[in-house]
Chain A
Amino acid sequence: MSTPGFRLSRGSTWGLRALVALVLAFVYVPLAVVVINSFNSDQTFSWPPRGFTLEWWRRAKDSTGMIDALQQSLKIGVLATLIALALGTLAAFGLQRNRFFGRQAVSLLIVLPIALPGIVTGIALNNAFTTILGIDLSIWSLVIAHATFCIVVVFNNVVARLRRLGGNIEEASMDLGATRFTTFRLVTLPNLGSALLAGGLLAFALSFDEIVVTTFTAPADIQTLPLWIYANLLSRQQAPIVNVAAAALILLSVIPIYLSQKLSGDQTGGRL
């Protein structure tokens, strides 16, 4: 990315570097506090920590509450992502390749669940399920809610990829005698592959960390990880374990980030 003509002065470049370093510090200090606190020997996290211990990490391993919550979050994340992948891809194909009346409205509709505040989505869906439809909340109300705001993430990724692909390669395939279905299976899908994976990964991340809509659409007997964290963050007994879960999430998050970066190739990764 060298720009021979355009060059910042040495002072500006170093000033910029300093700013970047400052922002990185700003971003990571609170996270570091959480990780350090997971080793804090004081159960109430007085600061600065007076001693360190591995006790909380040991207890976290046996915490059934946390493990159950983790399993629930994974299950719901996967289900919601699968639905979002299907619907998002369909919508992307429909909108990207064709011009039709209502196209703008549909693309606005897709963006709406994520552009509106979560609490509005939450109480609207809750009201719809419990009052209008009169059904009890269940795992499906939760999955449906999550899938709804995940669609846009997949949609944007696929649209971006379709834009890059252009239609020529598919036309060529059909000129050679393949049906639309065969073309989709053998030509389009493999090219979409990494976009789907990146979109799916982001959708999963959104669902995994979601708390507001979840509060309003989860049934009484399901506790996802965010719900579990929220319920236990300040409790004297459970808070250390929550801290451990948080620290683990922070440390493990490198993996999906690295993956999604790789998948997006040279294009900037992770369209939200």
Chain B
Amino acid sequence: MSTSAAQEVEPPRSTGLRRASAFLHRHRGVRVAGLVAAPVLWLGLIYLVALLALFVTAFWRVDFGVTVSREWNLDNFTKLYEQDVYRTVVLRTIVVAASVTVIDAALALPIAFYMAKIARPLVAKLLVVALLMPLWASYLVKAFAWRAMVTPGGVLDSAFGWTPGFGVSAVVITLAYLWLPFMVLPLYAGFEKLPNSLLEASSDLGAKPARTLRTVALPMVVPSLIAGSIFTFSLSLGDYIAVKNVGGKTQMLGNLVFDRQATDIPFAAALATLSVVIMVIYLSLVRRTGALENL
């Protein structure tokens, strides 16, 4: 290489921008702070403060009407504990959310595996599009469509002469329907990342396909499974619109919060705090599996 060419290149001019860039390069702390300041401030000031304020409100009460009186008390939480109905509703909600998660996982696992590993690339692409399209159809429309399906004299009744009617089973079916894409997506991503060589190696070592799937493929997609379950569980925990529509007289935690927030925000806050606690417990349990990155 000729050195004379290198000597003719001038060093870049030191403009303000260049000096700023150099400063940022040297001071990592300032750089990081500058980047995360805006989102953290936004989320912290708006969201976190709102959540904490709600939590604080749970320790107050309403007198007559909607006026919140700032006397500190534990009445709301005592009521949650003492009046049986709240325990019943919370348990019912958790059971429904868990059932929905299990059903969606059971449906999504084979489909995601098929799309990622078995189907031809073109078919897989079409299937992904086909399964994601309902995400764009309005949630309300889907919930009301299921009302039309399960109502006595509705679609299921005309087609099969039978319908579960308005109730908990209809709620489970509807919620499982609504959240299925949220389970399929991360599982599909997880299966796609799964190296084929692992499956091949397992078969080479003599395992039948079922064994390979059970002991090799499944454990590797557990983080994706958990990621999907976060959605199905959280969405079912707080849902009140679909429940109101197909659940008949069923009450779930979301309904309680929605009904109470109109006139008794402290008690609704106590209920909301309860659901947050449930979710936070769930999130912290699964954080170790790295599922949060798969969201």
- A-side residues, CB < 8 A to B, are 1-9, 12-13, 16-17, 19-20, 23-24, 26-31, 33-34, 37, 45-48, 86-88, 90-91, 93-95, 98, 100, 106-121, 123-125, 127-128, 131-132, 144, 147-148, 151-152, 156, 159, 174, 177, 179-181, 205, 209, 211-212, 225-226, 229-230, 233, 242, 246, 249-250, 253-254, 256-258, 261, 268-272
Contact = CB atoms under 8 A, between A and B. Distances in A.
Contact of A30 (B177, B200, B269): B177
Nearest to A91: B39
Contacts, number: 295
Interface stretch (B76-84, B164-172, B231-239): B231-239
B225 interface: no
B137 A253 contact: yes
Contacts of A5: 199-201, 203-204
Given A3-B196, A5-B203, A233 B140 contact: yes
Interface string B1-21: 000000000001000011011
A167 to B, nearest CB: 13
A47 B136 contact: no
Contacts of A118: 235, 238
Given A6-B196, A257-B136, A19 B47 contact: no
Interface string B254-274: 100110010001001100100
B281 interface: no
A184 to B, nearest CB: 10
Contacts of A115: 230, 234, 279, 283, 295
Chain B binding surface, main DSSP class: helix
Interface of B: 12, 17-18, 20-22, 24-25, 28-29, 31-32, 35-36, 38-40, 42-44, 46-51, 53-54, 57, 68, 107, 110-111, 113-114, 116-118, 121, 124-125, 127-142, 144-146, 148-149, 153-155, 158, 177, 180, 182, 185-186, 188-189, 192, 196, 199-204, 209, 212, 230-231, 234-235, 237-241, 254, 257-258, 261, 265, 268-269, 272, 275-276, 279, 283, 287, 292-293, 295
B35 A90 contact: yes
B140 to A, nearest CB: 5
B209 A9 contact: yes
Contact of A180 (B24, B125, B204, B293): B24
A50 B238 CA distance: 38
A225 B137 CA distance: 12
B140 A31 contact: no
21 contacts: A5-B199, A5-B201, A8-B209, A19-B111, A20-B127, A27-B131, A30-B146, A33-B145, A47-B153, A91-B39, A113-B47, A119-B258, A120-B272, A124-B53, A124-B54, A128-B54, A132-B49, A229-B138, A246-B137, A253-B136, A272-B186
